[in-house]
Chains A and B, each alone.
Chain A
Amino acid sequence: MSACSCCRPASIGKKIVMALSGLVLAGFVLGHMSGNLLMFKGPEAINAYAAWLHANPGMLWGARVVLILSTVAHIWTGVLLTLENRAARAGGPAVEATRRATLSSRTMPYSGVVILAFLVFHLLHYTFRTVALGGQEFGDKVYEMVVAGFSQPAVAGFYIISMILLCLHLSHGISSVFQTLGLRNERWRGRLDAVATAYGWLIALGFISIPLAVLLGCIK
C-alpha cells in the first residue's frame, strides 16, 4: 500500500470527476458557440446578446462559478491522471506499437494544454481586455471587437488551430464520458463514438466559421 493511498482519490473517482466536469465544459462550448453564431445576424443581435448577459449578473456569475470549478477540477484531475499514468508505465517498451488507440486519445494532454493556453489568451482578450487587439476601447461593441481581432491573421490562425484541437479533445472526451459513466457497450460503441466525433466537429466548425468569415470578408 502506498503511503498516500488514504488521501489519493480513487482512479475511477478521478475519471468520474473528469467526465462530469468535461461534460459541463462541453455543454458550455455548445452554448458559447450558439451565441457566437449571432455574429452572422449582424452587430445588433450579438451586441444585444452580450448586453443581456451583462444585465443578468446573477446568472452570469452563477455560470462563471460552475465553469471555473469545472475547469479547475478538469485540469487538476487531468494533471493527476497524466502524472500517475506516466509513472505507472515505467518508461514503456523500447519499441512502441499502437493497435487501436486513436490520435485524439493519445493527444489528450497536449490538446488540453493548447486549449488551456488559448483559454487564457481568450479571457485576457475578451473578458479582462488586458490584451487589446485593434488598439481601441470597444465597450459593449462585441461585434466590432471580434471583427478587429480576427482581422489579424495570426489571431485567427491560433483560434482555428485551437478549435481543431478542441474538436480532437471533444471527440475522445465525449466518447470517454459514455465509457466512464458506464453508458456504453460493444453494440453502441461505434455509434457513440460517431456522436462524439460529430459533436467535436460541430463545435469546431461553428467556432471556426466566424474567423473564416472575417478573413474572407463576409463579416465586416
Chain B
Amino acid sequence: MKLDSKIPAGPVADKWSNHKAKMRLVNPANRRKYHVIVVGSGLAGSAAAASFAEMGYEVSCFCYQDSPRRAHSIAAQGGINAAKNYQNDGDSIRRLFLDTIKGGDYRAREANVYRLAQVSTSIIDQCVAQGVPFAREYGGLLANRSFGGAQVSRTFYARGQTGQQLLLGAYSALSRQIGAGTVKMYTRHEMLDLVLVGGQAKGIVTRDLVTGEIQAWASDVVVLCTGGYGNVFYLSTNAQGCNVTATYRAHRRGAGFANPCYTQIHPTCIPVHGEDQSKLTLMSESLRNDGRVWVPKDKADCTKPASEIPEDRRDYFLERKYPSYGNLAPRDIASRAAKEVCDEGRGVGQVVDGKRLGVYLDFSAAIKRLGEPAIRERYGNLFDMYENITGENAYHQPMRIFPAVHYTMGGLWVDYNLQSNIPGLFVGGEANFSDHGANRLGASALMQGLADGYFVLPYTVTDYLAGVGLTGRPSVEAPEFKAAVKEVQDRTQWFLNNKGNRSARSYHKALGKIVWEKCGMARDKAGLEGAIRDLQALRADFWKNILVVGSGDQLAPELERAGRVADFLDFGIMMCLDALHRDESCGGHFRTEYQDGGEAQRNDDKYAHVAVWAWQGDGQLPVRHTEPLVYEDVQFTTRSYK
C-alpha cells in the first residue's frame, strides 16, 4: 500500500496557502460536465455537496435518513471552536493548532491540524451569514465559552444544540441547491459498495431503502462523509443508524483504514439501565464544574441509598487521585478512573450483566453553596433530561453517570488533500482519520466536519478533477458496475434467504459486549487476543445463523441492520488488531501494560506513526502499514494532570 501524505513543503503556517495557489482549476463552463457523488449529509457531506454545486458541478448526494437534516452531526451539544480571539485572551491560530496537537496526544498530522486551525475562523463567518443563531452578548457581538483542553474561550455555541444549528445551516445551503436543481438528493438510500474502474473510484452502488432497488451510480469522483464507527460498541451515544458500512466497503475495495483503535469515551453519560437498552445519552461535560464525583469506600454500601452513606464513607476518587484538576480531569482520565472503581465492585446503581456500572455525580455541595435556583439556571435542562430518562430527581439525590463511547478518531486514511489511497475517493468529517490524533478535544468535531466540507474538499476535489479530465467517467453499463451490483444483490438475497434463528440485534449486542470489555476504556494484550478469537467465532456463527425477516422490496430494517452488523463484525476484529499492535498508550487508546502510575505512557520512538490497515480478503486478517508522523514544528511532551 502506497501512503504518500502529500504534505506541501514550506513552513507549517504557509503550507495551505501555498498549496492552494498551486492547485489546478476547472473552467466554470466545464464544471457542470463533472459528476460528483457525496455520500452522507452531515456537516461535512452537506457542506461539501452545497459548495460543489455552488461552484457549478453536477452533484448527487445520498443519505440513509429520510432527510439530510437528520444526520447525526445534529446531536452535538457543546459548541464549535474557532481561533477568532474575540475574547482578547491570547487565542490565535497557532494556539488552537498546539492545543489540538497536544489534545490528540501527538498522534495527528501536523500540517492537517494547522490548516484546520486556519480555516476555523472562516467557518464562523460562513455560519453566521447563513443565519446560525449563535449565542450573543447584549452588545450584539458573538459570545464564547471555554471548553476542555484549552485555556482560552474560543467555543461558539447555540444553546445546547450547536450541532443542530450548524447542520441546519449546511442543510439550508444544500437545500438551496436541491431547489435549484444542481444537487440531486437521494434520501433513504444506503451506499453498499464503491466501484473502481481502472483503479480509480468512479461510482457507488446503493440500495433504495423504500423500494429495495439496488442501483449503480457513475461519477468522476466519490466523496465519503459517512461519519464514525462508534456503534461497533452497540451501546454508544451515536444514532441508531450510524454505521461503518460505507467506509468499510471502501476499505474492502482497497482503501486503507487508519487508527481504528482510537475511540473516545465520554465520562458524563447516563449509565446503562438494562439489557434492552439501545442507546446511551450524553450529558454535557459542563456538569463536572459543579458536581463532585464519588463512590462508596466500602462495597457493602453500594446497595444503600446515597443519602444513607455518611461523608467519611465516600470516596471522591477524582479529587483524591488528581488533586490539582479534581473533578475536571480530562475526558479519558476521568473515564478510566470511573471504570477502575466500578471494576473494584464499588459502582452504584442497577446491576447490569453482573456489575454496577455507575458513579455518583453529586450536586448537594453546590446546591448548599449556591442554592437550588442557581444550579437550576445553569443546568436545568440537563437535570430535566436526566429525570426524564431515569425518573430520578438530581436536585434531591446524586446523578449516576458512567462513561460511554461517543466519537471515533480513526477512519479511512487520507492524504493532505483528504484523498484516500484510492484515487478519486475523498473522505471528510469523522469518516477520515486526519485531524484529532488519538484523542479529540471538545468542540472540535463540528469544526473539522465543516472545515473539510466548506474549505478543503472544494479545492482539493477540483484539483483532482482538473487532473482526470472530461473523458474519465464510465457508464454504469461498464462491467465493473455490473459486477458490483450483482455482488450487492447476491449478498442481499443471501440474507433474506438464510434460514437462521438469531436476530442481527443479538449479534450486535454480543459484538458490543466483547469490544467494550476488551477494547474499550482499557485494553491489554491477552484481552485483545481473546477478543479477536471471540469475534472470529461470533462472525462464523453470524454467517450461519443470522435470521433476517421482511422482504427485499420495501422498508426492511432487519435487512439493513444485518448488513451493518456484518461489517461491524469484520471491523471489530480490525479494531482489536490495531489496539493489539499499538504497544503503547496514547489518548483514547489505553493499554494497561503501558502506564506510569495510571497515566498513559506513549512510545514516541516506536509508535509516532499512523497505522493503516489493508484488506486481505473475506475472513482474512488485514495487514498493517504505517505512515510516519513527522513533527517539524512542535515538540513531543507528556500530558499530566496530577
Judged by CB atoms under 8 Å, the answer to whether A and B touch is no
**Which B residues are closer than 8 A to A by beta carbons?**
none
Binding site for B on A (CB under 8 A): none
